[in-house]
Amino acid sequence: MNVTVLGAGGWGLALALLLNENRHDITIWCFDEKEKDDILSHRENKRCFPGIKIPIEIYITSNLEEALSDSKVVVMAVPSFAIRSTAQKMAPFLNSDTIVVNVAKGLEAESLLRLSEVIGSELPNPVVVLSGPSHAEEVARHMPTTVVVSSLNLDSATLIQDIFTTPYFRLYINEDIIGVELGGALKNIIALAAGAIEGLGYGDNTKAALITRGVAEISRLATALGASISTLHGLSGMGDLIVTCTSGHSRNRRAGELIAKGYTLDETIQKVNMVVEGIPATQAAYRLSRLYNIEMPITEAIYRSLFEDSSVRKEIKKLMRRTAKFEE
């Protein structure tokens, strides 16, 4: 099957390698011409995956029309802020029956839409979401990984489950696309907080409390938006939250650590040198919590630390001094 992967970053490359191993015909589209030339020259992405070679049979191009020609499946492995603009660029070249798979995790900051909704507003194609605890570095090295796929079109989700499955990559279908997407987007906010805790030198008690209370507030907002609580306790919710809050691979956790150590937001983004999806997700979740009158104290604390010149240490003290109450 002809599959196009849009984006040559870590996740896009990991999935391209996986699909190539499953004997599909893979094209990778690079947004940046210089990055394309560098990858072609070395047959590897030295920034994301140094030492992992890209097989010669994987075709790499920066021409979007060429990349989408005859594709049956298109994997959107671009940052959340680029989802709408990329979908708009795809529209003239995409066959109507092509399945679009989104693997980014986030919310559109301006509209507050989930990413499948953004894609659906620009393209008539079936959209499948792939999400869960899945660091690209581990998938590229064939470490056992389990994720979920979700879609309003069950046949499309089943096809994606089939073509992505390998001995080390297992996919479950979950029909709750709202919960799958919100779990993947909102956990990045809690990961920022987890990194901040690490940056301040706090211990395991604090981390456990953060993750547990993080699940509670993610669940409050997500269920208000139509998600199922069982989804939030599954791979795309709790599973993704745990791995993002505890792993050294997590860019959101790293960003939170730098913020807690006194780096500015701009300095943090520059130092991480990758997209930190938790930052726009914090803005979106903060606005949604106000819109739906949902209590989200951790999100509010991170928002103030990022955008209102407060300090993480001060915000943690405020969290600990909140009015005593029953556990939800």
187 labelled catalytic: yes
Determine the residue type at 85: S
Q: Which pTM was predicted?
A: 0.94
| Cα angle: 151, vertex 32, 247; to 5 degrees | 55
pLDDT digits (tens, 9 = 90+) for 242-271: 999 998 888 999 999 999 999 999 999 989
The percentage of residues in the chain with a pLDDT greater than 70, rounded to a whole number, is 100
Q: Report the distance separating Cα 29 and Cα 4, nearest Å.
A: 7
* Closest by CA position to 316, among listed 168, 228, 195: 195
Domain map of the chain by residue range?
A: 2-175, 178-320
Assess whether pLDDT exceeds 80 at residue 328. Answer: no
165 HSE (CA, 13 A, CB side): 12
Options 1.20.810.10, 1.10.1040.10, 3.50.50.60, 3.40.718.10; CATH of 178-320 = 1.10.1040.10
Phi then psi dihedrals of residue 182, to 5 deg: -70, -35
Assess whether pLDDT exceeds 90 at residue 40. Answer: no
The position carrying tokens 């140094």 is: 50
Mean of per-residue pLDDT scores for the chain: 94
Report residue 2 as tokens: 């002809």
The percentage of residues in the chain with a pLDDT greater than 90, rounded to a whole number, is 86
pLDDT digits (tens, 9 = 90+) for 156-211: 999 999 999 999 999 999 999 999 999 999 999 999 999 999 999 999 999 999 99
> Given CA atoms 94, 175, 25, 37 in this order, what sign does their dihedral have?
positive
CA distances from 277 to 51, 80, 143, 250, 306 (A): 26, 7, 24, 11, 13
- DSSP states of 215-231 as a string? HHHHHHHHHHTT--HHH
- Active-site choice (187, 207, 261, 325): 187
Assess whether pLDDT exceeds 80 at residue 323. Answer: yes
Assess whether pLDDT exceeds 80 at residue 298. Answer: yes
Fold of 2-175: Rossmann fold (3.40.50)
Give the burial class of 213: count Cβ atoms within 10 A of its Cβ; 0-12 exposed, 13-18 middle, 19 or more buried.
Answer: middle
